[in-house]
Amino acid sequence: MTEDTTEQQPAEIIEDAPEAETEVSENTEIAELQAQIADLEDRLKRSFAEQQNQRQRMLKDKANADRYAGAKLAGDLLEVMDNLERAVSSVPISLADNEHVSNLTTGVQLVLEQMTQVLATHSIRKISPMGEMVNYEFHETVAEVDDNPAAPKHVIDVLQPGYVMHDRLLRPAKVVISSGRMRDDNADADPVDQKI
């Protein structure tokens, strides 16, 4: 009986081998399918997140387009505002008492005030930084002046006011700033004269 038992064992082992191979290949196949499922789930989540992000970007772009829709027109109207201000300030004092000139000046001032109010209703405000520290995001420095008692890098003259719409710059203010240096009058003199 012992001989029969030993002879049967190898046959059983041989019969179990195909089942083990089948089980290993099924486990491998299951693992591959689970990996594919995980990859597809990850792709789906990323695709959904990308759609959400794209939707948010579109909403933000639309809001900005609505908010700044009139920026180009407003920028063009700023030149008109400048010309109206120049017209009011160019009236000679000798003609200010003339009734016709006074009426015309008053009319131009009223139009200028009305345009200022219209711009304000569209969140457009004037930048007139006289006496402030220069801010290169909103100011364009045209000149730097020595021999001025103002603090260095402070605006001492506004040549052209700037404008912003909400938080976006339409036009920078053109300014003159103080260098903070005092001019030495002796520096201009001839060095020979200074020694004598």
| pTM of the predicted model over 0.85 | no
CB neighbour list of residue 151: distance below 8 Å, 6 or more residues apart: 133, 178, 180
pLDDT of residue 181: 77
Enumerate the domain spans of the chain.
Answer: 1-67, 70-122, 125-185
- Classify burial at 115, counting beta carbons within 10 Å of its beta carbon; exposed 0-12, middle 13-18, buried 19 or more: middle
pLDDT of residue 195: 46
User: Which residue type, as a one-letter code, is found at position 124?
Assistant: I
d(CA 84, CA 14): 104
pLDDT of residue 171: 95
Greatest extent of the chain over all pairs of C-alpha atoms, in Å = 141
CA angle in degrees (0–180, nearest 5) for 30-31-32: 90
Tokens of 182: 């005092």
pLDDT of residue 156: 93
Q: Which residues of the chain carry a pLDDT beneath 50?
A: 1, 6, 11, 189, 191-196
Q: Tell me the pLDDT tens digit for each residue of 41-55.
A: 999 999 999 999 999
CB neighbour list of residue 145: distance below 8 Å, 6 or more residues apart: 156, 176, 177, 178, 179
Return the sign of the alpha-carbon dihedral for residues 108, 109, 110, 113.
positive
CATH tag for 125-185 (out of 2.30.30.90, 3.10.20.310, 2.30.22.10, 2.60.40.10): 2.30.22.10
Q: Tell me the pLDDT tens digit for each residue of 133-159.
A: 999 999 999 999 987 788 889 999 999
Q: Would you give the end-to-end CA distance of the chain in angstroms?
A: 138
CA angle in degrees (0–180, nearest 5) for 149-150-152: 115
Judge whether 186 and 194 are in contact, CB under 8 Å.
yes
pLDDT of residue 4: 52
Judge whether 74 and 163 are in contact, CB under 8 Å.
yes
pLDDT of residue 25: 82
pLDDT of residue 57: 94
